[in-house]
Chain A
Amino acid sequence: MAAVLEMAGLTKRFGDVVAVNDLALSLAPGDCFGFIGPNGAGKTTTIRIIATLLDPTAGTVRVDGADVRTQVEYVRSVVGYMPDFFGVYDDVTVLEYLDFFAAAYRIPFARRRRIIDDVLELADLGGKRDTFVDVLSRGMKQRLCLAKTLVHDPKLLLLDEPASGLDPRARVEIKELLRELTRMGKTVFVSSHILPELADICNKIGIIEQGRLLVSGGVQEIMRQVVGAATLRIRTADGGLAAVVDFLQTYPGIASAQVQDDTVVAHCDSSGVEQAALLRCLVERGFPVVAFHETEADLEDVFMRVTRGIVS
């Protein structure tokens, strides 16, 4: 299947600062790519280059086969871009707002009304069509901006921090909307700091720091690749955790063990069978184990392990 987005050697410099350094990536139709990185890592710059708002210093970016530098018109017709900070025209109604952007994307007048109805329904704003934009809540404005991003039926959606600053309910609504869009076959490129939510909706992720893409690929594949060892949490009835740590440090397959609060946290590269053997061994040695379980690594673990908190 032809890639919707293809990047190779993408580099962007601002004077002496290298904002994006030799990025390579390929996304197929229907992919939902989570772009993760600390502030100043180069996420927004990358998204702006894909959106044709910035020219790259070096490298190529192709959207649906079109070069972002030379085929700007075509790229804009297949890309929907939602910036991280945006304003809305306050003195218009929701309907007028969307009609403006539909016209700006050269959608014929005869088709505009139906398309606007569709995107309003998708964004769950059907009942707000005649409401002035300035009285909408922040979450609704965010959904309106997303609806605006969809009016020209783009193949690739570039969403820069779509859930930032939203309350939990609004975040869930945006997440549901993104899930629906990926179900519709849209390719979604989304940056966010809210990592658990990305894990829920993305099938691929990439972590960027100091302009470099440190890892990228399938979510599960990266978890395995980065986290590797399983994390065990062990609690005992008598609280003698130091003795447990001493024992674990001599046990084969345990990479590390330490006390965190009232729990021993151990990293091991063993399978489930070996973990069962370890549990049996602990019990046989007289440790009053009351809790023994493996905690699954999440994107936050991956993020913390891969990045060092350095910005360009």
Chain B
Amino acid sequence: MRSLITDNPVVRREARLRFWRTWPRYVKLAALIGSAGGVALLAKWSLWFIPGGKGNAANASLLVMWGVTMAVAAALVGARSVAGEREVRTWEQVIITRLRPRHIIAGKVLGVMWQVAVPAGVLAPGLWIWLLHTDHLMAGPAPDVLALLFAPAGQVAGFGSGSGSYPGAFWLFAASLLWIAQGAAIGVFASLRYRSTVTSGAVALLLLAITLGLDLTFLLYGGYILASDVSTLGVAQLAIITIVGSFVFPILPILIIMGLAAYEFAEFDRWLQTSAAGAGR
């Protein structure tokens, strides 16, 4: 475990990425202002978007956007993680070392989580301020459904558990890690399989949509939860249901088991160590 996380050079390298280093100063400033402005605009937009929605109604939408943004960002960054290395021809040099594929995969997933979690952590207080003035989670038909996916984030952050609850930016951020992890894992998986960042990005988004769709289907049609229940269930119940719903949905464990079996039987470990998975001409 130690070699997978703390002593994993891939994790350290991913955490040390400085892609902004070569940006001119004004671009860095513009990126900073743009990010802050973007969040503010999104939040504002959510207020306008929901029919009749102001005040409480905005929050579910914000939460959904927050969760979807985290998951999509993680999936896209993950989709670039290995395919990007293949494109610049550094991948072959990594797989030839003594790092086992599981080290590289773990390093990439954790690295992607780090890259998405840092800006998420920075932006979480901003979202928290928007959420601060309400104690209702659900509103509007589309957010009703989608917000189910992100209900634990909202619940952990303090919504929907009755008046007098106090959402915390830290908990909102902590809950977001769930969605970042899911997006990162899907993105890295697509990236391992496809050599082009564009293809792996598209596949990652598709897989993410399927996964989220499965989660929703499970939650709504599996009878585990009703959309109207969200605001009345407690934090622990909702978190457990959604986490279980996300990861122990009957189809998902089967897919995971099939994947692990295929990993062993198809000698995926060896495949990853070869030029077939690398930048071979």
**A residues adjacent to B (C-beta < 8 A):** 44, 48, 51-55, 72-73, 76-77, 81, 83, 85-89, 91-92, 96, 99-101, 103-106, 132, 134, 145, 148, 152
Q: A residues within 8 A CB of B10?
A: 104
Which B-chain residue is minimally distant from A101 (CB atoms)? B97
A88 to B9, CA, bound (A): 16
Q: B residues within 8 A CB of A105?
A: 97-98
Known contacts A53-B96, A105-B98, A134-B22; decide if A87 and B274 are in contact (CB<8 Å). Answer: no
| Closest 10 A/B residue pairs (Cβ) | A103-B9, A104-B97, A87-B88, A87-B89, A53-B275, A91-B18, A87-B90, A104-B99, A104-B9, A100-B9
Q: B residues within 8 A CB of A103?
A: 7, 9, 12
Task: Please provide the chain B residues from 7 to 32 with a CB less than 8 Å away from any CB of chain A in the complex.
Answer: 7, 9-10, 12-13, 16-19, 21-22
A205 to B21, CA, bound (A): 45
List 17 A–B pairs whose Cβ atoms lie within 8 Å, in order of A's numbering: A44-B281, A52-B273, A53-B96, A53-B274, A54-B274, A54-B276, A54-B280, A76-B96, A76-B97, A76-B98, A87-B90, A91-B17, A101-B97, A104-B10, A134-B22, A145-B93, A152-B98
| Minimum CB–CB distance for A169 against chain B, Å | 24
Task: Flag if A73 contacts B19 (CB, 8 Å).
Answer: no
Task: Flag if A54 contacts B275 (CB, 8 Å).
Answer: yes
A48 to B278, CA, bound (A): 11
Q: B residues within 8 A CB of A51?
A: 96
Partner of A86, one of B7, B17, B89: B89
**Range for the number of chain B residues in contact with chain A:** 20 to 34
Task: Flag if A81 contacts B96 (CB, 8 Å).
Answer: yes
A81 to B273, CA, bound (A): 14
Q: A residues within 8 A CB of B99?
A: 104
Task: Flag if B93 contacts A86 (CB, 8 Å).
Answer: yes
Known contacts A103-B9, A106-B98; decide if A96 and B281 are in contact (CB<8 Å). Answer: no
Task: Flag if B97 contacts A91 (CB, 8 Å).
Answer: no
A152 to B96, CA, bound (A): 12
Partner of A48, one of B21, B93, B270, B275: B275
B94 interface hit (Cβ, 8 Å)? yes
A85 to B89, CA, bound (A): 7
Task: Flag if B89 contacts A104 (CB, 8 Å).
Answer: no
Q: A residues within 8 A CB of B278?
A: 53
Known contacts A91-B18, A100-B9; decide if A53 and B92 are in contact (CB<8 Å). Answer: yes
Q: A residues within 8 A CB of B16?
A: 91-92, 96
Please give 10 more A-B residue pairs, beta carbons under 8 A apart, in addition to A54-B276, A87-B89: A48-B280, A53-B278, A76-B97, A85-B89, A86-B90, A100-B9, A101-B93, A104-B10, A104-B97, A148-B93
Q: B residues within 8 A CB of A88?
A: 90
| Minimum CB–CB distance for A75 against chain B, Å | 10
A103 to B280, CA, bound (A): 24
A104 to B98, CA, bound (A): 6
A101 to B21, CA, bound (A): 22
| Minimum CB–CB distance for B197 against chain A, Å | 14
Q: A residues within 8 A CB of B95?
A: 53
Q: B residues within 8 A CB of A132?
A: 21
| Minimum CB–CB distance for A83 against chain B, Å | 6
